[in-house]
């Protein structure tokens, strides 16, 4: 629920942004469901005027400031992001353009032919992200280099692989760790470019009446592996068939070792994230664990450093791949 002080600040900011309907008409404030984050989001509506209110607790005020900076950088590069309509820095409040209620993830039941134009638009947006000034991006956050990629995978080891005994035997554990260390080093060695860092279906909103998407949650923009955003788009939350991905990415990227490595890291990383969410009561992403693991193994198997490891992991992960693994026990 929105506390009285925050509601008062929100209404004041709403009026100051020029929403004349708010002066005399009724104002509706609807809480929106988000991921496991201290940030809170609300849809504000008065007549035909509407916006999204984002409220940042005191310890996340630097994140709000970074969101404003990344909004400017991405918009200048031609990436469609929600416009910032107003800011109350003292209250940790930001009023954003409401670009739509449904993400690409919400459209997952539609046919791939219907989704294809929006996937193309998303990939085009990812290419534009890479055109942002790398020096400006480097000043925002530390890069998603080999060390950072390995740190992300540590959560998967601690929250998923080890608790469920999915890497049984000291030798297999060592081989998988060595493989992932080599994989992360290779991703950094290919060169780092501006990347969104979480460029997946739940952060992409199809725009009404346009074959275009708006990009959300971009405050973690940083330098990262060249194929990272493409790997996230095609393998996190939405799982297009191989034919669709090939048409989207083109043969050079789709079959590159860099793309395969990025998919392995990203899918294994998000499995740890989903397992961690579930432990905190957010179970809605558990159905995504099995397809994410399947993508991980498929791409690991085509890498020279991962082929034999993937073959040995497959029987150990059979229950997890089939959805039979009880993840909260």
Give the chain's mean pLDDT.
93
Q: What is the pLDDT of residues 124-165, one digit of tens each?
A: 999 999 999 999 999 999 999 999 999 999 999 999 999 999
What per-residue confidence (pLDDT) applies to 278?
84
60-64, 280-284, 286-290, range with the lowest pLDDT: 280-284
What per-residue confidence (pLDDT) applies to 36?
63
What per-residue confidence (pLDDT) applies to 27?
85
Give the Cα separation of 142 and 119 in Å (integer).
Answer: 29
Give the Cα separation of 219 and 16 in Å (integer).
Answer: 25
CATH class of the domain defined by 4-97: alpha beta
Q: Is the pLDDT of residue 174 over 90?
A: yes
Q: Is the pLDDT of residue 282 over 60?
A: yes
Average pLDDT over residues 240-244: 96
Residues of the chain with CATH 3.90.1200.10: 105-322
- The β-bridge partners of 248 are none
Residues of the chain with CATH 3.30.200.20: 4-97
Q: What is the pLDDT of residues 7-48, one digit of tens each?
A: 888 888 988 887 654 455 688 889 987 666 788 999 999 888
Q: Is the pLDDT of residue 279 over 80?
A: yes
Q: How far is CA 187 from the centre of its chain?
A: 19
**Of residues 3 and 201, which shows the higher confidence score?**
201
Query: What number does CATH give the domain 105-322?
Result: 3.90.1200.10
Q: What is the pLDDT of residues 54-107, one digit of tens each?
A: 999 999 999 999 999 999 999 999 999 999 999 999 999 999 999 999 999 999
What percentage of residues in the chain have a pLDDT greater than 70?
95
What per-residue confidence (pLDDT) applies to 22?
47
Q: Is the pLDDT of residue 325 over 80?
A: no
Name the nearest CA neighbour of 179 among 268, 254, 253, 272: 268
Q: Which residues contact 58 (CB under 8 A, 6 or more apart)?
A: 92
Q: What is the pLDDT of residues 185-208, one digit of tens each?
A: 999 999 999 999 999 999 999 998
Percent of residues in the chain assigned helix, strand, coil, to nearest 5: 55, 15, 35
What global pTM score does this model have?
0.94
Helix (H) or strand (E) holding 178, with range, is helix 170-189
- Give the other-Cβ count within 10 Å of 31's Cβ: 12
């Amino acid at each position: 629920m929105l506390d009285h002080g925050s509601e008062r600040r929100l209404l004041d900011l709403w009026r100051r942004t020029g929403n004349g309907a708010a002066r005399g008409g009724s104002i509706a404030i609807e809480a929106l469901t988000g991921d496991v984050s201290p940030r809170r989001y609300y849809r504000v509506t008065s007549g035909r005027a509407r916006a999204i209110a984002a409220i940042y607790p005191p310890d996340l005020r630097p994140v709000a400031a970074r969101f404003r900076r990344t909004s400017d950088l991405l918009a200048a590069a031609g990436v469609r992001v929600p416009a910032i309509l107003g800011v109350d820095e003292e209250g940790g409040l930001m009023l954003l353009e409401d670009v739509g209620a449904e993400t690409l993830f919400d459209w997952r039941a539609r046919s791939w032919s219907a989704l294809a134009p929006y996937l193309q638009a998303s990939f085009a947006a990812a290419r534009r992200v890479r055109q942002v000034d790398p020096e400006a991006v480097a000043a925002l956050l530390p890069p998603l280099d080999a060390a950072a990629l390995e740190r992300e995978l540590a959560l998967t080891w601690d929250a998923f692989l080890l608790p469920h005994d999915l890497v049984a035997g000291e030798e297999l554990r060592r081989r998988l760790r060595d493989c992932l260390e080599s994989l992360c080093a290779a991703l950094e060695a290919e060169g780092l470019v501006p990347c969104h860092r979480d460029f997946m279906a739940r952060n992409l909103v199809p725009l009404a009446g346009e074959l275009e998407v708006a990009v959300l949650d971009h405050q973690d923009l940083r330098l990262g592996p060249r194929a990272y955003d493409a790997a996230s788009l095609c393998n996190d939350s939405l799982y297009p068939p191989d034919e669709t991905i090939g048409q989207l990415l083109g043969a050079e990227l789709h079959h590159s070792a860099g793309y395969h490595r990025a998919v392995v890291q990203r899918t294994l990383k998000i499995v740890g994230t989903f397992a961690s969410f579930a432990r905190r009561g957010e179970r809605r992403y558990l159905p995504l664990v099995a397809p994410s693991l399947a993508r991980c193994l498929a791409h690991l198997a085509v890498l020279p450093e991962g082929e034999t490891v993937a073959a040995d992991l497959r029987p150990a992960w059979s229950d997890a791949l089939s959805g039979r693994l009880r993840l909260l026990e």
